[in-house]
Amino acid sequence: AQKITQTQPGMFVQEKEAVTLDCTYDTSDPSYGLFWYKQPSSGEMIFLIYQGSYDQQNATEGRYSLNFQKARKSANLVISASQLGDSAMYFCAMTVKSSGGSYIPTFGRGTSLIVHP
């Protein structure tokens, strides 16, 4: 079974500072994908960044980067130069191939990020 662990229920960061949100995962499948999603108070989940298990380099998307440490099974999200609009819930997720042939994500419990002015 797949498992995603986010150990930080809540995080605070000063505007313009960088922040790291932790995520560890567990799977015996060698092929998997790792994702981060942002959920503002409006409810919609927004895709931020993706890392494949065979990717050699850490993924980056603008101010978001994923610190992928395969041996430690961690996929931390780094947000640089935090903005007030970054305040939201952040979810780490992993996909592996299910018995039905589809790639199904498993989500962590999320981390609430609050950016202070």
Partner 1 sequence: ETGVTQTPRHLVMGMTNKKSLKCEQHLGHNAMYWYKQSAKKPLELMFVYNFKEQTENNSVPSRFSPECPNSSHLFLHLHTLQPEDSALYLCASSGNRGGAKNIQYFGAGTRLSVL
Interaction of residue 117 with partner 1, rule CB under 8 A = no
Interaction of residue 36 with partner 1, rule CB under 8 A = no
Choose between 18 and 114: whose C-beta lies nearer to partner 1: 114
Inter-CA distances, 109 with 22, 97, 116, Å: 12, 21, 23
Per CB under 8 A, the list member of 16, 103, 114, 116 interacting with partner 1 is 103
Instruction: Check if the beta carbon of residue 64 is closer than 8 Å to that of residue 38.
Output: no
Please, which of residues 39-78 interact with partner 1 by CB under 8 A?
42-47, 50, 52-53
Provide, rounded to whole angstroms, the least separation between the CB of residue 30 and partner 1. 10
Choose between 46 and 81: whose C-beta lies nearer to partner 1: 46
CA distance 16 to 116: 9
Provide, rounded to whole angstroms, the least separation between the CB of residue 33 and partner 1. 3
Interaction of residue 12 with partner 1, rule CB under 8 A = no
The widest CA-to-CA distance across the chain, in whole angstroms, is 47
The contacts of residue 100 (CB under 8 Å, 6+ apart) are none
Task: Name which of 84, 85, 106, 90 is nearest 20 in CA terms.
Answer: 90
Q: Under the rule (CB under 8 A), what is the footprint of partner 1?
A: 4, 31-33, 35, 37, 42-47, 50, 52-53, 91, 95-98, 100-110
